Each structure stands twice: as structure tokens, then as C-alpha cells.
Amino acid sequence: MGWLKGFFFVTISVLAMGCASVKPYERQFINDPEMKMGTDPSRGFQQYVQSIREGATPAGSAKASGGCGCN
Amino acid sequence: MRKVYLIFGSLLFWQWMARAQSPDSVVIPVPRTTIDLVYNNYFQDGNHSAVTGGIGTEKLTVYSPAFNVRHTAGRSDLSVNLGVDIITSASTDRIDFLRSSASWRDQRGHADIGYSHRITERGLSANAGAGFSLESDYLSFNGKLGVQHDDKEKAQQWTAQFIMYFDDLRWGRLSKRFQRPVKLIYPSELRYQEWYSDYLRRSFNLRLGWNRALDRRTVLGVNSEITYQYGLLATPFHRVYFTDGGLRPENLPYQRWKGSLAVKLNRFVGGMVILRNSITGYMDDFGIMAIALENETAIKLRHDLSLTPGARWYAQTASPYFAPYAQHDAAQEFYTSDYDLSAIQTITASLGLRYAPYRQVGRRSHFNSILIRYAYMYRTDGLQAHTIGFVMQMDVEKNR
């Protein structure tokens, strides 16, 4: 349980941090395709496999549809 | 003195002009269709198959081609995803010990359609979607509703999505003999009675997400998800052996709550390295608690070529319903020997190569990118898996 409390403490701390305003002309780094938060279809498939072979379903993970995953 | 007034007045005028530009002005993009050709290949092997009670081969191969199309026009965005999985499973072959083939072949077809529309100039969008997945022992329908808000500067995004899955676990739809749902499939020696009172599984997911640019090189994302499932959550053809020599199909509670929180931090370091880090926590009322740490580093070898090594560590506690082969007490109400619910850790190493030239081919088409990724996963119970992925993306743009 200790690590879970630690995890939530870190999360809340990060959320509480101040955020600087980023001007449109300063966005060349955060607009880079490699900086995107979403997943490509290859990583989506990997996350789908992980959600089956592991007991947990990660938040926001890609799941194309239902499916048994029972093999 | 007049010169000073003139300069001061000019500055005020230009400042006013700059503000007079509507902050809500929106650039309407050129209608564009993006096409993804996707192919994934998955191999696994282990020795803890749930079909044979926690022992025996878990050899499995999945060939998974898919095709995604997304069309953007004005304020609207329409996407269609189609895919097929061809599954060769040695363990599923053991549902019926009389089956003589070395491995059993199954297919899964899935299709999803999604639509999103920007409602206001202030960045609010609504989206909806539906889809299905069909395999011999499983039919799943899903429906989605969501909203998204991007702030004026595109520095912050909120998302909320509600997803429902309605699954039918009866076998027979892909059988030439039946072509309709017939019954739940139990292990061959346990077909003398019906073991479950339900054959449907319903899932309701609520996803909330928040992304924010912290500074000019850092983006933070927080995602949370709550899931409620009820109905048949056990797999009918998973065997469980008991200490007294008895045998029954797996039995799990008829409802399950899951909660998960993920924090992602992407940071551009120097001019050519992007660190993508994430930490995910999870817990459910089956008694599983889990944590995952992941890093993927994109190294830009050239402006259009990136190498992406990655590593992930995952650990979970066991569900109290789990016990290995022949270690369950016959008095237990719920029981499974599925190692997916045991105390495990997994370690995944991956390597991707992405070539993204965005090169024009033809008058209106662009070759966006090609991505190849390999991932190796080791699970501490001995299961090993390899995934090879391939994605090619094209754009077709309509002339203005």
C-alpha cells in the first residue's frame, strides 16, 4: 500500500505545480509528432495485449473493441 | 513634441489593431483523408494455460492486419477502423481433448466507426462512436460518447468519454454448422450441466483526461478510468482442479469494479531526444493492485528518422481467487487458475524505427510515415511474447 500512497502523492504534487504559458511561436518542440500524447496503432495493439496478459486495464489505453482475449 | 505624440499614437493604434483580431478566429483545415495500413504479429509461449487448469502450453500466434481511415472536413472528423485477427492457439485446442489437430484456428473480425464535431469556436467538441468484435465464442458491441475541450492557445485539453460494451459469450456464430449463438462452451468433460446463470457481460467505462503544456519543452497528461462490469466475467472453458481431485470450470464474481490513474510526461531534451515517461496505478475489487513504469525515448537521427527504444516494468498482486494447478479448496466460492490474475511482474523491451518524410506522391497524396516496432515481453511465471508491428500512413488532401 505504501507505493500506492506514494504514487498518489507524486500525482497530486505534479498537478499542483504551476504551468507556464507557452506562446504560439514557442511551440516548435511541443508540436513535434513524437511529443504527442496519443498512441499509434502499433502501440495500441501492444497495450491491448498487455491488458489481456496482465490483470490490470491501464487508464486511457487503446482498446479497439471488445474481444475475448481468452486464448 | 508632435513627433512624440505621433510615435505614441502609432504604437497605441497598432496595439489596438493587434487586439482587434478575433482571438476566437479558427483556421478551417483543408479536407483531408488519412489512411493507416497496420499489421501486427504476436507470438507467445508459456506453460500455465488456464484452459488446462494452470499447466500446459500457452503457445499462441496472432496475425492482425487492420485498416484505419480518418476524414477531416471543416469542423467534422469521421473515422472508420476495420481489422481481422487470425489466431492459432494450442491451448484452446485443449477445450476438447478429442480434437486431434496440433493447434486450433480461430478468427476475430472487428470494426469501429467514430464521428467528432467541433461545436463551438471556443474549442468544445463532441464525439460518438460504435463498433463490434466477432469471434467464434464471443460477440461484442460497443458504443461511445464523449466531449473534448481545447483552450484557445491549444496548450490545454480536457476529455471525457463514456464507453459501453455488451458482450455475448455463447459459441457458434462462426461455425458453418450453426451460424448463430448456440451455447457456452465448457471443457469437454464438463458439458453434463450448465454452470452459469448468465451468458452476457456488460462493461461501462468512464474515462477522463487532461493534457497541458507545462513549458515550451514539456507536456503533462493525466488519464483516469473507472470501469464497472457485470454478468459472466469467468471464461467458461477455463478448467480449475481442486485438492480433492475435483474439476469445475472457472468461477468468478458476477460484478467487478476497476479504477486506474495514469500520469504521462513527455519532454524534449536538447534538439534530438524526446523522453516519454509514464506511471500507471490500478486497483480492482478482484483484489488486484498494480503499478507500471514506462519510458520510451525517441532519438531523432534526422529530421525525418527516429529510433525509439523503450522499456516497461509492471507488477501486480494476486487475486485471492487465484491458485495454481490442483491447489484450490473445494469449499471456495470463486476460483481460477488463470495466471493473468496471479502475482506477476512483466518486463517489456521495445525498439521502433519511424521514417516520416511527409513526401508528396501524386497530385494530392502525401506519404506521411512508416513505422516498424518490435517488442519483447517476459512475464515472471515464464511466459514470453514477441510483437512485431508495422504502420504506414498516407494523407490525401482535397484541393482548395
B346–A54 CB contact, under 8 Å: yes
Per-residue pLDDT tens over the stretch B42-87: 999 999 999 999 999 999 999 999 999 999 998 999 999 999 999 8
Residue B1: the pLDDT is 53
* Displacement of CA A71 from its chain's centroid (Å): 26
A22–B42 CB contact, under 8 Å: no
Instruction: Name the residue type at position B306.
Output: S
Enter the C-alpha cell of residue B297: 525515448
Q: Quick check: B163 and B128 in contact, CB under 8 A? A: no
Residue B363: the pLDDT is 85
Closest CA of chain A from B2, distance in Å: 36
A42 touches chain B (CB under 8 A): yes
Share of chain A above pLDDT 70, in %: 55
Per-residue pLDDT tens over the stretch A22-65: 777 888 888 888 888 888 888 888 888 888 888 888 777 655 44
Using pLDDT thresholds of 50, 70 and 90, give the confidence band for residue B179: confident
Residue B103 pLDDT exceeds 50: yes
Using pLDDT thresholds of 50, 70 and 90, give the confidence band for residue B23: very low
Q: What SS3 class is residue B342? A: coil
Residue B317: the pLDDT is 97
Looking at per-residue confidence, does B165 or A2 come out higher? B165
Q: For residue B89, which residues of chain A lie inside 8 Å, CB to CB?
A: 71
Q: What are phi and psi of A61, to 5 degrees?
A: -75, 155
Residue B19: the pLDDT is 47
H/E/C letters for each residue in B66-82? Answer: EEEEEEEECCEEEEEEE
Mean pLDDT over B160-180 rounds to: 86
B81 touches chain A (CB under 8 A): yes
Residue B101 pLDDT exceeds 80: no
Enter the C-alpha cell of residue A16: 499542483
Mean pLDDT over B349-363 rounds to: 92
Q: What SS3 class is residue B267? A: strand
Residue B181 pLDDT exceeds 70: yes
pTM for this entry: 0.86
Q: What are phi and psi of B82, to 5 degrees?
A: -130, 145
Q: Quick check: A54 and B317 in contact, CB under 8 A? A: no
Residue B233, C-beta contacts closer than 8 angstroms, at least 6 positions apart: B201, B252, B253, B254, B255, B256
DSSP run (H or E) holding A2: helix A2-16
Residue B18 pLDDT exceeds 80: no
B61 touches chain A (CB under 8 A): no
Q: What SS3 class is residue B257? A: strand
Q: Quick check: B316 and A50 in contact, CB under 8 A? A: no
Share of chain B above pLDDT 70, in %: 89
Instruction: Please list the alpha-helical segments (H only) found in chain B.
Output: 2-20
Q: What are phi and psi of B179, to 5 degrees?
A: 60, 25
Domain B3-21+35-397 falls under CATH 3.40.50.150: no
DSSP run (H or E) holding B228: strand B218-231
Per-residue pLDDT tens over the stretch B215-236: 999 999 999 999 999 999 999 9
Looking at per-residue confidence, does B260 or B11 come out higher? B260
> Using CA of residue B322, residue B102, residue B38, residue B299, what is the dihedral sign?
positive
Instruction: Please list the alpha-helical segments (H only) found in B171-251.
Output: none
Residue A20: the pLDDT is 62
Q: Cα dist. B43→B88, B125, B191, B351, B390 in Å? A: 10, 39, 31, 17, 15
The C-alpha atoms of residue B322 and residue B188 are separated, in whole angstroms, by: 22
Using pLDDT thresholds of 50, 70 and 90, give the confidence band for residue A19: low
A71–B132 CB contact, under 8 Å: no
Looking at per-residue confidence, does B389 or A69 come out higher? B389
Share of chain B above pLDDT 90, in %: 73
Using pLDDT thresholds of 50, 70 and 90, give the confidence band for residue B30: confident
Residue B399: the pLDDT is 67
Q: What is the DSSP letter of B4?
A: H
Q: What are phi and psi of B28, to 5 degrees?
A: -85, 120
A59 touches chain B (CB under 8 A): yes
B129 touches chain A (CB under 8 A): no
Residue B350: the pLDDT is 97
